[in-house]
């Protein structure tokens, strides 16, 4: 399959894509507006640098990098695109009117060409693996340099790319440079036809997360306010619907031995907040909803984190964290924020999205693998009952993150060399 047939296939599938957006709009009000941006009809001003950060995770990791470019080149106009409302909200919160922001249009040839022509970027920086054939084609045709930053390429993605060389090889060769997270992933890009001289192992930007003393202090104050200074608190972060019951069952087991324990459960997607609340109630657990500012009292068993942008605050209150997307076949969510905050980390078997990071955390004994709700409960209880071992895991997690920082400086150098 080449780009022509790829574009033709997208047009044939357009009713399904529009239906998908419509379904998301029904489930979440954040998808009900700004449809013109999805098809490249909105007005945009010409820009110097375009950053595409897809969803919230990529956006969070890219914020320090984008801010450093804004600070270094204040005369350059910066545009940031995302594909999710959560990523969009984070861009607005982090940068306000300092940047131009919109959704990246779906990769229909006419929409992408129209968007790129209006934007006329000099440099395009794409985070991780958000590679869209038409976006890369028209950016290169427009004369822009294109960098893939913080790049990842899992074995499964590598296998998929190998199936369609007529489409993927021209796309990858159109990249001017790739800052890739690991040596293994660098070799995969090279095997797909990327020149070795166009790649560099930079590590992950997500290791360069800065944790302020204010957030840590706020976490301590919050625990005191909840009268939970000496009580176990664990966070189930970015959990998906297929994991709600397993997490709640684990907490019920934990409560049998530690009745004052508190679970902070944070669903991955906003449209699942109400579903999560219903599952908590179905398990007959006492709930407080963060969005409703419910008081957390001595009788509260679950705090539902049904707000956006507060994950670090929740981690600051906790001792241990289960990372979602790992009990279902989803590949796992990013465990680094929890590790950077000094929490012992637990994950299920599905974590191919962050294989190398998980291996690093496991190798220093800061991450525990669990394969069921009972295994999760057992590990939580063992950590609580062995405070010295828990403390070692927590410190090892922080040390691992600190030892692997440096990707930010490498990416700054890559971008500055092309500006």
List the catalytic residue out of 58, 128, 185, 337: 58
Q: Are 319 and 379 in contact (CB under 8 A)?
A: no
Using DSSP, state whether 312 is helix, strand or coil. Answer: helix
Check whether 30 has a pLDDT greater than 80: no
Residues 217 and 85 reside in one and the same domain: no
Active site residue 169: no
Strand partners, 126: 52, 148
Residues 6+ apart with CB under 8 A from 177: 145, 147, 148, 198, 199, 200, 414, 418
pLDDT, mean over the chain: 95
Q: Are 233 and 264 in contact (CB under 8 A)?
A: yes
Q: Domains in the chain: how many in total?
A: 2
Residues 230 and 331 reside in one and the same domain: yes
Check whether 1 has a pLDDT greater than 80: no
The predicted-structure confidence for 367-377, as pLDDT tens digits, reads as follows 999 999 999 99
The predicted-structure confidence for 168-224, as pLDDT tens digits, reads as follows 999 999 999 999 999 999 999 999 999 999 999 999 999 998 888 999 999 999 999
Cβ burial, residue 127 (10 Å; 0-12/13-18/19+):
buried
Domain of residue 255, residue span: 213-403
Residues 159 and 217 reside in one and the same domain: no
The proportion of the chain whose per-residue pLDDT surpasses 70, expressed as a percent, equals 100
102-120 b/e (C-beta count within 10 Å ≥ 16 → b): bbbbbbbbebbbbbbeebe
Using DSSP, state whether 74 is helix, strand or coil. Answer: coil
Q: What CATH code is carried by the domain that includes residue 383? A: 3.40.50.2000
Residues 236 and 379 reside in one and the same domain: yes
Q: Are 305 and 314 in contact (CB under 8 A)?
A: yes
Residues 397 and 409 reside in one and the same domain: no
Residues 346 and 235 reside in one and the same domain: yes
Residues 6+ apart with CB under 8 A from 81: 50, 51, 52, 53, 101, 102, 103, 104
Q: How far apart are CA 125 and CA 121, in angstroms?
A: 10
Predicted pLDDT of residue 20? 87
Integer CA distances (angstroms), 166 to 193, 221, 240, 380, in order: 11, 57, 36, 49
Least confident of 19-28, 77-86, 406-415: 19-28
Residues 399 and 409 reside in one and the same domain: no
Residues 265 and 395 reside in one and the same domain: yes
Terminal-to-terminal C-alpha distance of the chain: 34
pTM of the model: 0.87
Q: Are 177 and 200 in contact (CB under 8 A)?
A: yes
Residues 126 and 195 reside in one and the same domain: yes
Using DSSP, state whether 144 is helix, strand or coil. Answer: coil
Residues 142 and 89 reside in one and the same domain: yes
Predicted pLDDT of residue 21? 85
Residues 396 and 409 reside in one and the same domain: no
Q: What CATH code is carried by the domain that includes residue 178? A: 3.40.50.11720
Residues 266 and 326 reside in one and the same domain: yes
Check whether 29 has a pLDDT greater than 80: no
């Amino acid at each position: 399959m080449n780009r022509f047939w790829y574009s033709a296939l997208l047009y044939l599938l357009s009713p399904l894509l529009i239906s998908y957006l419509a379904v998301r709009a029904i489930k979440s009000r954040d998808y009900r507006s700004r449809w013109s941006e999805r098809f490249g009809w909105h007005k945009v001003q010409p820009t110097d640098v375009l950053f595409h950060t897809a969803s919230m995770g990529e956006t969070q990791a890219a914020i320090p990098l984008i801010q450093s470019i804004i600070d270094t080149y204040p005369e350059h106009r910066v545009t940031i695109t995302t594909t999710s409302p959560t990523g969009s909200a984070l861009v607005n919160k982090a940068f306000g009117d300092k940047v131009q922001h919109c959704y990246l249009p779906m990769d229909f040839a006419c929409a992408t060409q129209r968007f790129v022509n209006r934007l006329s970027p000099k440099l395009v920086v794409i985070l991780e693996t958000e590679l869209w054939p038409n976006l890369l084609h028209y950016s290169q045709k427009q004369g822009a340099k294109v960098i893939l930053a913080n790049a990842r390429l899992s074995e499964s993605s590598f296998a998929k790319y190998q199936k369609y060389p007529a489409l993927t090889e021209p796309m990858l060769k159109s990249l001017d440079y790739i800052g890739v997270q690991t040596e293994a992933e660098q070799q995969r890009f090279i095997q797909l036809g990327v020149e070795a001289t166009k790649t560099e192992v930079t590590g992950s930007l997500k290791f360069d997360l800065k944790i302020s003393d204010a957030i840590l202090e706020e976490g301590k104050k919050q625990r005191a306010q909840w009268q939970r200074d000496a009580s176990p608190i664990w966070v189930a972060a970015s959990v998906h619907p297929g994991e709600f019951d397993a997490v709640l069952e684990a907490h019920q087991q934990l409560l049998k031995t530690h009745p004052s324990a508190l679970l902070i459960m944070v669903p991955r997607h906003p449209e699942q907040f109400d579903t999560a609340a219903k599952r908590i109630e179905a398990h007959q657990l006492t709930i407080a909803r963060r969005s409703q500012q419910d008081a957390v009292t001595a009788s509260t068993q679950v705090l539902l984190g049904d707000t956006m942008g507060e994950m670090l605050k929740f981690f600051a209150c906790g001792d241990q964290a289960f990372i979602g997307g790992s009990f279902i076949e989803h590949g796992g969510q990013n465990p680094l924020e929890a590790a950077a905050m000094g929490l012992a980390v637990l994950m299920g078997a599905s974590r191919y999205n962050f294989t190398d990071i998980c291996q690093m955390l496991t190798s220093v004994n800061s991450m525990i693998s669990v394969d069921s709700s009972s295994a999760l409960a057992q590990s939580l209880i063992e950590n609580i009952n062995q405070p010295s071992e828990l403390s070692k895991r927590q410190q090892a997690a922080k040390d691992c993150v600190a030892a692997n920082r440096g990707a930010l400086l490498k990416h700054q150098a890559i971008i500055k060399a092309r500006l």
